[in-house]
Each structure stands twice: as structure tokens, then as C-alpha cells.
Chains A and B, each alone.
Chain A
Amino acid sequence: MLVYPLKAVVTSNPELSSAYNSDSTSMLLTSECLTPEALKELVAQGAQFEKIVSTNGEGEEVIGELIMSAQSQGMDGLPQFERLFFGDGESVESIMKQIHGACAGDEARGMSSNFEVSG
């Protein structure tokens, strides 16, 4: 069974990846940082993401391909996309907070179902 983060965060920044992937909020959100190459590989294997967050333009190429492919097949199963841009001096903590906010989305607003684990 192919298992992957449902909310993929595209970045090549190893410091951000390391901090984000070991954070408990990321775990609760089933979210993980992926390099653009890893994202491409997972898409090729048939991964169906709920959301893809592109940071500083990374992963745009794969996102573009996903949109084109979905358009040609009638827009079924397209994930949500969000683009976030961060300045050079921005701290990893601040960046993570913004990404978590983007990934939480509906769940944070109470729009998603409230009892998890198949139910």
C-alpha cells in the first residue's frame, strides 16, 4: 500500500524539512515536507494528495502537470494548492506556523468531521 502525507509541503530546505517532519502538529495534520523530486515520484506512483503547499515556488512544475492532467480528464480528484512565499530572514518556527495554518484549513475551522479514525 502506497502511504504518503496527505498534505504535502514542497521544499528543498533541509532545515525546514527536518523541523517540520518531526513536529507533532505536522503529524496530526498528516503533513510532511517533500522535495520537488519526491513529490513528482509520488504523483507518478498514483498518490492522491489532499493538499499541496508550494513554498517559494518549489514544486510548481509538478502542480502545473497535475492541473493539466486533471483538466484533460475532467478535473476529478484535484488536490487543493496553496502557494506560500517566505523571506530570507524568516524563522523556521514562523514558517512552520504559516504552513500549519494553511494545512489545517477546514479542520481548524471545524468544518471537517469531528471524530476521526474511520468515522
Chain B
Amino acid sequence: MLFKIDLRSFEVEQQGWDARAANGKTFYTSPGLRLASMASLADCPAGQGVEVDERARTVSFGRDYLGKHPLAYASTESHLFVGDEVSELTACLRASGSPLTVSEPALALYFTAGYVPQGITLYDQVHTCENVSCYRWREGRVSQTSLFEPIEISGEQKVSTVAESIREEVSRVAARRQGVDIWCSGGLDSSSMVQEFHEQAFPAELVTLGYGSDMTVKFGRGEASYAEQMAAACDYKLRYAELDGARFRELHHRMASGHISPVIDNCGLAKYALASLTRDCAVTGEGGDPVFGGVKNDFMVYNYSRDPKAPLGNLYALAHKRFFGFLKDIFRRGEQLQDEVRAYFKRRIDRYPGDLVRKLFYLNAIDKQGGMIFPEAYYPAKRFGIEVEHPLTSLQVYREAFRLPDARRYVYPRGKLALLELYRDRLPRSIIERKKSGTIVPIQHYVREFPEQAFDFAPLRNLNVFSEKIFDAVGPAALRSTAPEQMPYKAALLTYAFVTLNAWLTATGKQDARLSA
């Protein structure tokens, strides 16, 4: 979907949008979406929209409230470009003669968080649209208006009301289709979706991640046995999306070249693999952690309780457990970048009301889902021509869940309390009691699958921001010097981070980008 408007003539050129005129304005929306106004994005469950008001000479745009569908924009003096593919926007800029520059703070955020947060991209000239927001171009300037509405906690709110909204959402998803494929890891979130479909007798099959025979011999079967237990318990067919070495290479190339940003997250590739095997519509268990309070608030709560004066921006940067502590080794200006990252996260935390736990709930449900989780499903779904639905984090479920007192969802160090209350007696005991593992991808093995040219870091070197030594640490020689079994996970992940960044910048910037001045 690409929308271009000439800001002098207001002439529009677009592909992939539904166009509709009303009240002297023209609305361009993602297929099937009806928007009465841009303000109605606050109640929009999924989709993107642009409103052109030729009389007022404004262009407004935005995406659904929680940010299931990504959107980005770029503007020049003469044009505004809005679309869901960053690579198309960079191509528009190049065609219009606008230079692309790479943002050093955005790179630092990528290595800190594992993804580039919403609102920015690695290019100074291209911005992703934040969720809970509406954007407006007027007189040569784009401004952002927050649509964020805090949710009032009610002591009267019942978990059964949340259960009802989950059930309704599952029914809505199932009613539109002959059958769905549920992406099932055998964890609580995806298993609860399997159970909902089963109890309402909706046709479904399960798709889980496999690793191919070679990788399975080296590494094991990951979470497959839990998915098998769910399939058996609900009498659903289970299919395996095999992510063997060759498939890893192919899907990594596909993801790195077309994703909204480079991502250092195991789940990203797994979702491309799952999408490739999905028939028409995937159902995920996304939302379990951010909406219901997964165990990973623990790092913040524990460290904050030890030192309530500790800067929260610093803690939140560390909490991502990527490379915040290593920025000094990665970048020439690492220490200054650490300060900028701390300040960035502090601003994000300050945006949300409430105590620390409440703020974390908002950050994870809004910032993290809109910036990383949802795009990780949207793009693989788009590439493989399927739809994807997240019933556990529908707008209605989010609102009902946030009306619960936080202690009904999370009490250190136990999370997902409401989900456990709902599904404890309905799911196999092994699923309820299993230790949470997250999606397992043995990255130490997979990084060896990268072709030699993936390590040509010339585009990154040319940016002159990285320490020269870091390229030795993530090069093929470093890989060859250690057996996968002995390779520290963090070292493998850093190699993955550099190769992915390199591939993404090469694909979107055609290697002509330079660092911003």
C-alpha cells in the first residue's frame, strides 16, 4: 500500500488503498476498512487510513489504536508519501532526489531494544507511525496528536468479563472463515487460543515450529512436544513449519530485506516460517504477555525495589537484555548514545500514567506490541498472502483486561494470573505447569548458515559510527574459531544483529545511505 500526494496540486497517486469521498474529503483506507473520521482510529481494531481535505489543505493519517497494522511516512517539500513498506518510501525519496541519512540514535536503540521503536526508522527521513496517534500534514509540517486514553481500573471488574470478550473475539474470527491455523508453541497463550476454538467447536489446525532433521539432532525438538499435547487434547491436526538451515537462510533474507526494521528477536523468523505454512488465516496467542502481564516485569520491579532512585530509563534499557551494556564496545560514541537511549526510554515511561507496574503494562501493550510484536506478524502474513488475527489482544480484550486491578494480572514474580484463572482447569496440566521458555531458535547454529557475502560489512563500516574492533568480533573468522556448542549465546546474537542490520540497510537504502550530519 503506497499513497503519494503532490502537496502543491493535491494530486494523489496510490496503490492498494480503498478510496471513498465524503463531506468534501477523500478517505483512503486499507482494504475493507470504513473510517468515519481520523478520530475514529481510536476505536479501530485493525487497519490504516489517510484523509485528504483539499479545502483545508491538510492530509491526516494513522493506523489502528493498538497498531496491528503498521504505517510509515516520509515527506519532501513537494510530496508526502505514506505506506506500509519502508523500502517503498525510501525508493520514493531516492526518486525525488532526497538523500537518505542513517540515524545513529536509532541504531543505538536497535542494539538496545532489539528493534527500532515505533515513531522512527533507521533513516532520519522516514518515520513509522506510532499507534494511539493521528498524524496531520499542514503547511509543510507533520504533527502528531495522541489518541491515548488511559483505562480506569474498576474493583468491580470480573475476570469472567475478560473471558467473555476473548470468547466473542474468537467467535468473530472463526465466523468469517472455514477454518484457521493456530500458531501453537504449546505455551499458555497459544494453547488458550487452541482451547477456545476447540470448546466452541470451530474447525482449526495447529502449526508449530520445527527445526528440520539436522538441527533437531544437534539441538533437540524445542517446544514441539507441548504443541503435540495440545493437538492431541483438542483432536486438531498439527503441522510443522520446519526452520532448517536452508529455510533459515531464505527466510532471513526475506525478513531482513522487507521488514519494517531490522529485528534481533527469535520470534521474527519463526513467524515467517509459520506464515509460510499457514493456509489462509493464522491465529496467534499474542497479547498474553503484554496484556495479561508476563513474568518479565520482574526485572524492572525487582531492581526498582532495590533502588527506587535508580533511573527508570536505564533500567528499561537494560531490561531488554540485548546490547545496551555493550554500546560502548559497539559504537565510537557509545557512552553518549547510552545517555540518549536512557533519556529516550525515560520519556516513553513518563508518557504513561500510574505506578511502575501500570506503566509497564501500557508500555508493553502499546509501545512494544505496536513497534515490534504486531509487525512481526503483519509482514510475514503479507508476504505469504494470509491474514493474521490476535484474539487475546483485540481492542475489546485489551480494554476489559486493563480494567482489572493490576494485581489480578501480575503479582511479583507471577504473571498472567487472570489467564491462569481462566484456563488452569481447562488446559492439560503439563501446559499450565511448564516453565516459560519463549520461542526457541538455536541462534548459535543458525548464524553459521549465513553466506559469506552476508559478512561484507562495508556499508556499515562506511557509516563511521561503529568501533572497528566490533567487526572482528562478529566476522566469519570469529564464528569459525568457536564450535556452536561453545559459542556464547550473546556472541551469536550480536553476529545475527550485525548481519541483519547490514542486510536491511542494503535492501532499503541500496547502500547509498550515509550517517546524518
Contact = CB atoms under 8 A, between A and B. Distances in A.
Given A3-B412, A114-B266, A119 B437 contact: no
Interface in A1-57: 1-6, 24, 27-28, 30, 32, 48, 50
Interface residues of A, number: 28
A110 B492 contact: yes
Given A1-B412, A115-B368, A118-B361, A30 B298 contact: yes
A22 to B, nearest CB: 10
Given A28-B318, A76-B433, A110-B492, A117 B414 contact: no
A117 B265 CA distance: 14
A113 B368 contact: no
A108 interface: yes
B438 A117 contact: no
Nearest to B433: A76
Contacts of A28: 299, 318, 321, 325
With a 10 A CB-CB cut-off, give which of A6, A50, A115 has the most chain B CB atoms: A115
Contact of A114 (B265, B302, B360): B265
A27 B321 contact: no
B290 A119 contact: yes
Interface string B99-141: 0000000000000011000000000000000000000000000
A32 B299 CA distance: 13
A116 B325 contact: no
B413 A114 contact: no
Interface size on B, as a range, is 35 or more
A30 B361 CA distance: 20
B394 interface: no
Given A28-B321, A110-B492, A118 B415 contact: yes
A3 B304 CA distance: 10
Nearest to B444: A110
Contact of B364 (A3, A5, A118): A118
Contact of A115 (B114, B295, B301, B490): B114
A110 B264 CA distance: 13
B267 to A, nearest CB: 8
A68 to B, nearest CB: 19
A109 B438 CA distance: 13
B296 A119 contact: yes
A76 B364 CA distance: 29
B439 interface: yes
With a 10 A CB-CB cut-off, give which of B325, B407, B413 has the most chain A CB atoms: B413
Interface in B342-381: 360-361, 363-364, 368, 372-373
A116 B299 contact: yes
Contact of A110 (B297, B372, B442): B442
B320 interface: yes
A48 B413 contact: yes
Given A113-B439, A114-B114, A117-B320, A1 B298 contact: no
With a 10 A CB-CB cut-off, give which of A109, A112, A118 has the most chain B CB atoms: A118
B436 interface: yes
With a 10 A CB-CB cut-off, give which of A1, A106, A107, A110 has the most chain B CB atoms: A110
B31 interface: no
A113 B488 CA distance: 16
Contact of B368 (A1, A3, A108, A119): A119
A4 B306 CA distance: 9
A118 B293 contact: yes
Contact of B414 (A30, A48, A106): A48
Given A28-B318, A113-B296, 4 more contacts: A110-B443, A112-B436, A114-B267, A115-B368
Interface of A: 1-6, 24, 27-28, 30, 32, 48, 50, 76, 106-119
3 smallest beta-carbon distances between A and B, as pairs: A113-B438, A110-B489, A3-B305
24 contacts: A1-B301, A27-B303, A27-B306, A28-B299, A30-B298, A30-B299, A107-B489, A108-B489, A110-B443, A113-B437, A113-B438, A113-B439, A114-B438, A115-B113, A115-B114, A115-B320, A116-B319, A116-B321, A117-B363, A117-B364, A117-B368, A118-B364, A118-B410, A119-B289
